[in-house]
Chains A and B, each alone.
Chain A
């Protein structure tokens, strides 16, 4: 519960990270978890049980779309970002930068105004 509350106050979240991955290329679920783990230097180790409901939520919101593709005789479900998803990603990334700048300012001692 505490984690949920904390995540609600932080802009972006895992959805933003997934959209960011998909903004570069379409991917299937397992590929996304591996890429997220690798690019975050093992900070984000997403469980598949969290990934798929999240991906399907993004799909229902119209931010990603999926298709079935065949690789080596195996059918895989590939996800791709939509124009609406790119817009949401840009918005969330802006919010995240503002938030991160704010946190950095507090931690590193920002300029104190108004006094």
Chain B
């Protein structure tokens, strides 16, 4: 009978909670509380059934509790961000058309392919948005996916799948953040090891080779780690952890790895970037002309380049394109980082950053390259520049970001990220709260 009272109470609370994903953790917390209270009553000498009855009675009106919990735990869909991505993608299609319609390089066929992939990419975004982002934090999914992603990228640094290996390395910050969120019991040494991992994990990008992808991925992971250390994720002094997280970067781990693997190419590129006038028809050609601004001869040669869409637009419409892009980018970064800062849990903040940073860094790199002030080649201008692979990658990242925003109320630091465990009940009952479609079912079984 007492068990029925408990079941009735939890059912009544659960019936008020409309978000199905929220029911399990909320009811588990309440049942945990009842278990504690019942244990105390048992210790005071009450019979098992009486203790449970009294503990349930102490909880208050289930419908009122359920309504309050429901109000506080609603999925938060950031429609504004989704709409902005849709508009940017459509604007991207328009700008690509304007850029390539005059091209003689047969870009229009590729443009048509891009247009076909847009709805597929947006469907992917929506699919990830409404999925459960905490799946990455459960069991060993993040670790397994990281190993699989790195291995796959290493095995496909040549051949047909090379570009996909590149996209995979740009997704590594998300997996890195998920792995970091699962481990919060370390101190300064752990912070140092995570700092090293940030520059070791994206190494497959150097085998592709893409120094841009390597630096972007490594920088994003380092920034995530710094945010974690700043948020007090590691034990010990905050400043000490921050310093140790940054130590591998400060010691220039990324640069020796880069120079060791691509010494000749990188030094030539760097020389062209620093002194383009010394080799005006070679490696300095691009930097010289991009910095000079409008030049019909130059832009006639590079017409249709996917990497220079902003420069081409600036040639057509004026140099104001650059400050406008920079201002819009800064505004978007500010608004999104503010939204990330407002997330309830540190886990949510780190996961959101892991999706946001690769997007922002791609845009910054693209902008600087088009201005002629980046020694590294660009990857993409998210949603605006040409490229089906990058469109899919960036939709995946935004979908994940939207999913983190949506699940904010349910994201917690620590063990909740693991799958629910059997809850030992004081009277040796194992309480399970399985959920059917829209129904709450409560079952009990004796612990052997």
Q: Does chain B have a CB within 8 A of A48?
A: yes
Task: Tell me if B58 counts as interface (CB < 8 A to partner A).
Answer: yes
Binding-face segment, B198-206, B251-259, B413-421, B435-443: B413-421
Q: Are A59 and B62 in contact (CB under 8 A)?
A: no
Contacts of B36 in A (CB 8 A): 30
Query: How far does the alpha carbon of A53 sit from the alpha carbon of B71 in the complex, in Å?
Result: 9
Q: Separation in Å of the B315 CB from the closest CB of chain A?
A: 47
**Residue ranges of B at the interface with A (Cβ–Cβ < 8 Å):** 26, 29-30, 32-34, 36-37, 58-62, 64-65, 68-69, 71-73, 342, 344-346, 409, 412-417, 421, 423-424
A7 at the interface (CB under 8 A from B): no
Verify B37–A65 contact, CB threshold 8 A: no
Q: A95 an interface residue at 8 Å Cβ cutoff?
A: no
Judging by beta carbons under 8 Å apart, are B415 and A68 in contact?
yes
A74 within 8 A of B: yes
Which residue of B has the minimal Cβ distance to A29? Answer: B33
Complex Cα–Cα for A74 and B424 (A): 7
- 6 additional A-B pairs beyond A52-B26, A56-B69, beta carbons within 8 Å, are A29-B33, A49-B62, A52-B69, A53-B72, A73-B424, A75-B421
* Residues on A facing B (Cβ under 8 Å): 29-30, 47-50, 52-53, 56-57, 59-60, 62, 65-70, 73-77
Q: Give chain A nearest CB distance to B404 CB in angstroms.
A: 16
B344 touches A77 (CB 8 A): no
Which residue in A50, A59, A60, A70 is a CB contact (below 8 Å) of B60? A50
A100 to chain B, nearest CB (A): 28
Residue of B nearest to A56 (CB): B72
Neighbour of B414 across the interface among A30, A57, A62, A67, CB < 8 A: A67
| A62 partner residues in chain B, CB cutoff 8 A | 342, 344
Residues on B with C-beta less than 8 A from A68 are 412-417
Q: Contacts A29-B33, A48-B37; is A69 near B415 (CB within 8 Å)?
A: yes
Known: A48-B37, A65-B346, A66-B345. A77 touches B412 (CB 8 A): yes
Residues of A within 8 A of B33 (CB): 29-30, 48, 52
Note all chain A residues with C-beta closer than 8 A to B65.
49, 52-53
